[in-house]
Amino acid sequence: MIEFFTQAPIYVLAFLAVITVVVFVHELGHFMVARAVGVRVEVFSIGFGKELFGFNDRRGTRWKFGLLPLGGYVKMFGESDDTVQPDGTTRPLTETERAGSFAHKSLARRSAVVVAGPVANYIFAILVLGILYLSYGQPFTAPVVGEVQADSVAAEIGLQTGDRIVAIDGNAVESFQDVAETVQFGLGVPLELTIERDGESQTIPAVPSVVEITDNFGNVHRVGRLGIGPAGETETRTFGPLAAFGAATAESWNTSGRILESLWQIIEGTRSADELGGVIRIGKMAGDIAKEGIVQLIGFAAFISIMLGLFNLFPIPMLDGGHLAFYAYEAVRGRPMAIRAQEWAFRVGLVFLVGLTLFAIRNDLKLFDFFKNLLT
């Protein structure tokens, strides 16, 4: 904890750099599609609260930075009731206002504006990872068994040094990292390993053990274990432009799958909810990764961008996915959900998100022994 606070500037600056970039990208997605479909954008804000500084562009949008840099928003004309006057009465929209009103756009255009934020986060992550793969390559280790730990699952099922794992549950394996991720995130789920030994292929069933580990950032995780280590050294896979961005797309897809799998394991109880982290944990990770180098920090920003894009697609009121759920209802029923029902949904969504945020902060504070003693 002392080290964390003495190096606080590094953690704060790294966190702000990462979160500002990914939030800007997210809101820029909303902004660009809104402009493209003719919606009048009134405010583009990075951060909330009192404006620190900003400017107006030639089309009347106010670009600003808020006092609290934990998020951001794009305010579009017609999202709320912009016709309410000081005396509480409303007035009809002019033709010009109707043309630029978000609420008066077609269902397809409103949906496009909403989904553009998460899509922008994914595009950003793919571009960043693709450029990193193209510039530096992708580290990997061949999926060949080296060490087999005594009294491990691998020893029990007869894995031997030199075995090459070519598939797990019928899915091709290209690197030892693929094997590790499948086993670690599976949390004891039975697997079928297809291996090559002495030129022959065979399938071996395995049920990984589950252990608790503490990562380099102080986070405790439950992971699956076979009890094997790689045989070779880490190599670097190089790519051409198309292959680099193809690999980046695949990595973004796989990362999303791992996040969803972990969340489902928390819901069903096979993984502890204490693994959920919030802004403090992200800040600590950003600072620790920043110490490793700018390239690593850029890669971390891509990961956070994927997380932000995916989280915003969840069908929770207050999030983009919640709005898309309302639009799906509108598409099926042929009319929008009742205003009263939407208001209640937003209240429930707000309570849920605030509760989730507080729970994540509680988990974050448990990283430090002082706070852990206060909480237990």
Every domain of the chain and the residues it spans: 2-37+105-137+278-375, 139-237
Per-residue model confidence as pLDDT tens digits over 16-58: 899 999 999 999 999 999 999 999 999 999 988 899 999 999 9
Give me the sign of the Cα torsion angle 82, 83, 84, 87. Answer: positive
Q: Is the pLDDT of residue 311 over 60?
A: yes
Segment 135-153 mean pLDDT: 88
DSSP state of 103: G
The pLDDT of residue 3: 58
- Say if residue 86's pLDDT is above 70: no
Is there a catalytic annotation at residue 3? Answer: no
Per-residue pLDDT tens for 253-273?
999 998 998 888 888 877 777
Model confidence pLDDT, tens digit, residues 171-218: 888 888 888 888 888 777 888 999 999 888 999 998 988 887 776 556
Backbone angles phi, psi at 76, to 5 degrees: -110, 145
Confidence class of residue 288 from pLDDT cuts 50, 70 and 90?
A: confident
What is the model's pLDDT at position 1?
53
Q: Which fold has domain 139-237?
A: Pdz3 Domain (2.30.42)
Average pLDDT value for the chain? 86
Could you read off the pLDDT of 100-116 as tens digits, one per residue? Answer: 899 889 999 999 999 99
In this prediction, residues 213-233 reach a mean pLDDT of 77
What is the C-alpha to C-alpha distance for residues 296 and 67, in angstroms, rounded to an integer?
A: 28
Burial class (CB in 10 A: 0-12, 13-18, 19+), 286: buried
Catalytic residue among 3, 27, 212, 235: 27
Concatenated DSSP letters of 46-92 = EEEEEEEEEEE-TTS-EEEEEEEEEEEEEEETTSS-TTB-TTS-B-P
Mean pLDDT of 64-91: 73
pLDDT tens readout for residues 349-373: 999 999 988 888 887 776 655 555 5
Structure tokens given for 127: 């571009």
- 205 three-class SS: strand
* Mean pLDDT value across residues 274-288: 81
